Chains A and B, each alone.
Chain A
Amino acid sequence: MMILIGGLVRVFQGLVMAAPTLLTGLFIAAILRYYVGPALTRRLFGGDSLRALPQSWLIGMLLPVCSIGVFPILFELRRAKVRAGAISAFALSAPLFNPLSLLYGLTLSRPVVIISFALASLAMVTILGLLWDRFSPSQRDDEAEEGSTPTGDLGDLSGSGMAASNDGELIGLGRMLALVTFMARELVGESGKLALIAVGGLGLLGAVLPYSALQSSFEMHDPLAPARMTTLAIPVYATPMTAMSQLGMMFVHSNSPGAALALLLLGTGLNLGTLVWFTRQYGSRATATWFGSLVILVLAASYAIDRPLVLPGAEPAGHTHAFDNYAAPFPSGTRLALTTIREAAVKPFHLFEWVGAGLGVLLAVLGATLTISGISERSFRRSTRPKSALDRDIPPSVLGLTLILGLIALSVVGCYAYYPSPSECLEELTIIRTEAFSSARAGNVDQALLWVERFEDWSRKLEVGTFLRHWEVRPYQRMQGYLVRKKLELLEHELEHDPYEQEEVNKAVTALLDTDRRWRMSYSPK
């Protein structure tokens, strides 16, 4: 029973995590279908030129989607007959980074590490894409059958992006309604099914791996660590931000850099749903070969960087909690009450995920209603349009590209909102610090743990916020931030220690005070 509940908790967490980026992916797919159109989509992804692979990688880096949010876009790319290599490059690179996670990543360890990881991903998707293209010469021509589209329905196949047919055309408000309808139906359609398969991987791990089973599986200098992570990462689903924070913890604990790369490339880049999508589109033999090549490339890259990227003087911490969310959520012997299950299920989430999940539920209800009542995008076609002198048609491709550029611009603006200015961060940290230290000293463990986690989170925000505005985080600031997080983690351990010892907790708080003061001072104007 505990195994089943553990698995279900992980599935639920996966769905909540995926909601914001899945909605983004659906929105982008709808734009590609109803505004950009197949011809322009093909051009956007480099057409048949040599730059198709790096271009697809670059687009993937800019769009804020995860390995689940990428599904509806993959359907559209396939429908637009984009090169198989470019689809493979996009499918693997889009979930790896987005502007938010890339900025976060640049403040972890040395920026060169994240830049190396990004370049390794470019090399990998390029090699894999070239292989995929070379051995599938006819793929672009005939095989994007009708059945490969998610709903097998509708849309513009004219290549102009202007949805016109004998039934009428999609334009103006009708097209916007079609866009929402597409998103809603797709959420309860093929993309939704693939999302469930993807989070099923987390459920399997939550059911199979015991609580905290992975805490010392990826130690630096462990020759098996990259291979072990490669195996683990296949069923894993992780959003770019989750993976990036796990990479951060891996750097703090001096875990194997090769294992970190494998987690990023496979854990974030794909999931079980991706494999199902490729199998459905290209057949199991071709997919097995593609996947086998991918695993070999990941292993080669992971072992190649495992030693050179070890930081001088790195001290292995011996264990980490970074991967606890890929194992059972409850220690064996836990008495499962409803409150225990609820607390474990909702613990990792903040407002952003809940808003995404709420919107996802609303859209899914709308999608189910539309599907049951037989309302599709076709219903919004109009045969005649009254036209006035000022009513000019704007080419849908212009609208589509504007929307996509707008989305990218919005994610850049989002970076500034998500990572506030240093002064705002420091103000927020004043409240968080007071709460964390006072609840720790009062022995209020749950409250203290909650605030310590926020403390760590905001310490990262302070660094990224500074980097965004000054394009620099000084080595001293970086080092003080590292020390604060290291000592926060020691405090966390004392709080969770069994038996609980208040004196040790007080010592950990005292040890933090001076480091925290020096860290704050390093951000004050000189």
Chain B
Amino acid sequence: MSPHPWSPAWAIPSIPIRQWACLCLACLNLTIGCGRTPPAETVEHSIPQHWPADLIDASRKLEQFTAAIDAAQAQGGKGKGSDDFRRLQDVVGWAPEIAADSPLAESDWVPIHESSEKLSAKLRGMAWDAGAKAAIEAFRKLLIEKGELITPKDNPTDTSGVDANPSDAR
């Protein structure tokens, strides 16, 4: 079979398929490694340190991170882009999951979900200023309001023997 007429000047030099295959496998081994890896059963799911136990804890963590960002900024450090800011963003993003994993009704969950989406988008775009802090404060109040709807009796995770904080679950 005749080769395809397309052979532009910048075409890659002809390399036989076998060599391509060897090259690809070599790249794969270089990037992934061919050593022995630990069996899957011994690798644990990593849970972030700042994962909140419940909505009230999430609200508390938001307050802590806000204060830490303010303090760092007052000393000339970074506001947006600091580790505390990233942790704050994480907690805002996790709030709907934490709320959904509680006995909150769907009608109570929806405002948390919507506010979390809006606040996450805002935090990506806006500077660390009074507006950002006001938005976080409003979100914190919402978390407290909804968190107080769940009494310890409602939350079976407190009595089931399973730790509320998933970081304690293996």
Taking a contact as CB atoms under 8 Å apart, the answer to whether A288 and B15 are in contact is: yes
CA distance A316 to B43 in the complex (A): 14
Taking a contact as CB atoms under 8 Å apart, the answer to whether B41 and A284 are in contact is: no
Q: With a CB–CB cut-off of 8 A, which chain A residues contact B31?
A: 217, 224, 227-228, 231
Which of A142-150, A342-350, A366-374 contacts the other chain? A142-150
Q: Is A64 an interface residue (CB 8 A)?
A: no
Give the contacting residue for A286; candidates B11, B110, B169; CB below 8 A: B11
Give the contacting residue for B39; candidates A283, A286, A498; CB below 8 A: A498
Taking a contact as CB atoms under 8 Å apart, the answer to whether B90 and A279 are in contact is: no
Q: Is A319 an interface residue (CB 8 A)?
A: yes
Taking a contact as CB atoms under 8 Å apart, the answer to whether A280 and B1 are in contact is: yes
Closest partner residue, chain A, to B26 (CB atom): A231
CA distance A209 to B4 in the complex (A): 35
Taking a contact as CB atoms under 8 Å apart, the answer to whether B24 and A497 are in contact is: no
Closest partner residue, chain A, to B107 (CB atom): A476
CA distance A261 to B11 in the complex (A): 26
Closest partner residue, chain A, to B48 (CB atom): A315
Give the contacting residue for A136; candidates B5, B12, B24; CB below 8 A: B5
Q: With a CB–CB cut-off of 8 A, which chain A residues contact B29?
A: 208
CB distance from A293 to the nearest CB of B (A): 9
- Report the contact-size class of chain A (Cβ under 8 Å from the partner): 35 or more
Which of B75-83, B131-139, B155-163 contacts the other chain? B155-163
Which residues of B, 31-61, contact A by the 8 Å Cβ criterion?
31-48, 51
Q: Is B143 an interface residue (CB 8 A)?
A: no
Taking a contact as CB atoms under 8 Å apart, the answer to whether A319 and B3 are in contact is: no
Asked if A480 meets B100 with Cβ closer than 8 Å, knowing A215-B37, A235-B24, A511-B157, the reply is: yes
Which residues of A, 467-486, contact B by the 8 Å Cβ criterion?
474-476, 479-480, 482-483
CB distance from B44 to the nearest CB of A (A): 7
CA distance A3 to B106 in the complex (A): 52
CA distance A445 to B16 in the complex (A): 48
Which residues of B, 145-170, contact A by the 8 Å Cβ criterion?
156-157, 160-162, 169-170
Which of A91-99, A375-383, A488-496 contacts the other chain? A488-496
Taking a contact as CB atoms under 8 Å apart, the answer to whether B51 and A208 are in contact is: no
Max count, chain B CB within 10 A of own CB: residue among A210, A292, A474: A210
Q: With a CB–CB cut-off of 8 A, which chain B residues contact A145?
A: 1-2
Q: Is A515 an interface residue (CB 8 A)?
A: yes
Write the B116-146 contact mask toward A (1 if CB under 8 angstroms, else 0). Answer: 1100100010000000000000000000000
Asked if A514 meets B157 with Cβ closer than 8 Å, knowing A286-B4, A318-B43, A479-B96, the reply is: yes
Q: With a CB–CB cut-off of 8 A, which chain B residues contact A135?
A: 6, 8
Q: With a CB–CB cut-off of 8 A, which chain A residues contact B24?
A: 231, 234-235
Q: With a CB–CB cut-off of 8 A, which chain B residues contact A510?
A: 160-162
CA distance A133 to B38 in the complex (A): 48
Taking a contact as CB atoms under 8 Å apart, the answer to whether B89 and A313 are in contact is: yes
Max count, chain B CB within 10 A of own CB: residue among A224, A235, A275, A479: A479
Write the B82-109 contact mask toward A (1 if CB under 8 angstroms, else 0). Answer: 0000000111111111001101001001
Taking a contact as CB atoms under 8 Å apart, the answer to whether B1 and A147 are in contact is: yes
Q: With a CB–CB cut-off of 8 A, which chain B residues contact A498?
A: 39, 41-42
Q: With a CB–CB cut-off of 8 A, which chain B residues contact A475?
A: 96, 110, 113
Give the contacting residue for A211; candidates B14, B37, B94, B161; CB below 8 A: B37
Q: With a CB–CB cut-off of 8 A, which chain B residues contact A234?
A: 24
Taking a contact as CB atoms under 8 Å apart, the answer to whether B32 and A213 are in contact is: yes
Taking a contact as CB atoms under 8 Å apart, the answer to whether B17 and A275 are in contact is: yes
CB distance from B82 to the nearest CB of A (A): 16
Closest partner residue, chain B, to A474 (CB atom): B106
Q: With a CB–CB cut-off of 8 A, which chain A residues contact B1?
A: 145, 147-148, 280-281
Give the contacting residue for A143; candidates B5, B21, B113; CB below 8 A: B5
Q: With a CB–CB cut-off of 8 A, which chain A residues contact B94?
A: 313, 315
Q: Is A314 an interface residue (CB 8 A)?
A: yes
Q: Is A212 an interface residue (CB 8 A)?
A: yes
CA distance A496 to B117 in the complex (A): 36
Q: Is A58 an interface residue (CB 8 A)?
A: no
Max count, chain B CB within 10 A of own CB: residue among A143, A224, A313, A496: A313
CA distance A508 to B161 in the complex (A): 10
Taking a contact as CB atoms under 8 Å apart, the answer to whether B17 and A483 are in contact is: no
Which residues of B, 18-32, contact A by the 8 Å Cβ criterion?
20-21, 24-25, 27-29, 31-32
CB distance from A149 to the nearest CB of B (A): 11
CB distance from A123 to the nearest CB of B (A): 22
Which residues of A, 241-283, contact B by the 8 Å Cβ criterion?
272, 275-276, 279-283
Q: Is A332 an interface residue (CB 8 A)?
A: yes
Asked if A514 meets B5 with Cβ closer than 8 Å, knowing A216-B43, A284-B15, the reply is: no
CB distance from A245 to the nearest CB of B (A): 18
CB distance from B52 to the nearest CB of A (A): 11
Closest partner residue, chain B, to A292 (CB atom): B12
Give the contacting residue for B169; candidates A232, A275, A511; CB below 8 A: A511
Q: With a CB–CB cut-off of 8 A, which chain A residues contact B93?
A: 311-314
Which residues of A, 179-238, contact B by the 8 Å Cβ criterion?
204-205, 208-217, 224, 227-228, 231-232, 234-235
Taking a contact as CB atoms under 8 Å apart, the answer to whether A496 and B40 are in contact is: yes
Taking a contact as CB atoms under 8 Å apart, the answer to whether A272 and B21 are in contact is: yes
Leading 7 A-B pairs by shortest Cβ distance: A313-B93, A283-B3, A282-B4, A318-B46, A312-B93, A312-B120, A288-B12
Name B's A-contacting residues (CB within 8 A): 1-8, 10-17, 20-21, 24-25, 27-29, 31-48, 51, 89-97, 100-101, 103, 106, 109-110, 113, 116-117, 120, 124, 156-157, 160-162, 169-170
12 CB-based A-B contacts, threshold 8 Å: A135-B8, A210-B35, A211-B40, A212-B37, A231-B27, A283-B6, A317-B46, A474-B106, A496-B41, A510-B160, A510-B161, A511-B169
With A148-B1, A215-B37, A476-B113 given, name 20 new contacts (CB 8 A): A208-B29, A210-B34, A235-B25, A281-B1, A284-B16, A285-B14, A289-B6, A311-B93, A312-B117, A314-B93, A319-B40, A319-B45, A331-B39, A476-B110, A479-B97, A479-B109, A479-B113, A507-B169, A508-B169, A511-B157
